[in-house]
Amino acid sequence: MNAKRFFASIMMLCMLVALGAGCAKKTTDSMPASATKVEISDKDSDWQSQPAPARSMTEDELRAQQREQAQRELGNMIFFAFDSFELTPESREVLNAKADALKKYSLFTIVIEGHCDERGTSEYNLALGERRAKAAQQFLNQLGIPDNRMTIVSYGKERPLDPSKTESAWSKNRRDEFKIQN
């Protein structure tokens, strides 16, 4: 009988300890120990207009931000006349701006994509798209951008910007696109 009472007492003690531990509340101060509390009076009404302290960006975040900015500056397309890979004066202006952006963002390389409208054979349009991309690449070379920062690819008529079968759609599809390379 003594053993049963002793065992029951031990069990009761364990239950009380477990119950007490489960109900304990932890108090934490949300402010780090090194921070100091500042009281704001009604006189300090301009505290809301002050900007929050800028947090420093990680290298990956900075690179991603630069990549987005570079893609915006390099994103303008250039367009071509029917059955031509000759750069227009407007195209040359756009390429001048692209060369400036490529010099500014020297970490990035680009892909120049040559595109055509749907008229003509697939083989012919692939070759014409390549000549269009090479024309842009050669012009950028003349402006000081080395070949190792540019890759060209031709999609021919496979990736139309506008799938309609009108002259307006075809003129949109005769283009070079510029994308930051992964």
pLDDT value of position 28? 47
pLDDT band at 54 (very low <50, low <70, confident <90, very high): low
Radius of gyration of the chain (CA): 33
pLDDT value of position 16? 55
Mean of pLDDT values over 1-12: 64
With a CB cutoff of 8 Å and minimum separation 6, the contacts of 94 are 76, 77, 78
pLDDT value of position 60? 73
With a CB cutoff of 8 Å and minimum separation 6, the contacts of 144 are 99, 103
Q: Which pLDDT tens digit goes with each residue over 105-155? A: 888 899 999 999 999 899 999 999 999 999 999 999 999 999 999 999 999
pLDDT value of position 37? 45
Among 7-21, 24-38, 95-109, 148-162, the minimum mean pLDDT is found in 24-38
Angle, CA of 107, 108 and 110, to the nearest 5°? 155
Written as six digits, the tokens of 155 are 């999609």
Q: What is the pTM of this model?
A: 0.63
Counting residues of the chain whose pLDDT is more than 90, the rounded percentage is: 47
Q: Say if strands 78-79 and 110-115 run parallel, antiparallel, or are unpaired.
A: unpaired
Between residues 140 and 36, the one the model is more confident about: 140
Q: Is 171 helix (H, G, I), strand (E, B) or coil?
A: helix
pLDDT value of position 51? 54
Q: How many CA atoms lie within 13 A of 161 on its CB side?
A: 19
The CB density around residue 70, as the number of other CB atoms within 10 Å, is: 18
Between residues 88 and 22, the one the model is more confident about: 88
pLDDT value of position 8? 62
> Per mean pLDDT, which of 26-35, 49-58, 65-74, 158-167 is the most reliable?
158-167
CATH architecture of 59-180: 2-Layer Sandwich (3.30)
Q: Which pLDDT tens digit goes with each residue over 66-113? A: 777 777 766 789 999 999 999 999 999 999 999 998 898 888 899 999
Residue 29 has pLDDT above 50, yes or no: no
**What H or E segment, with its residue span, contains residue 15?**
helix 2-23
Round to whole Å and give the CA distance between 150 and 146.
7
Residues present in the chain in total = 182
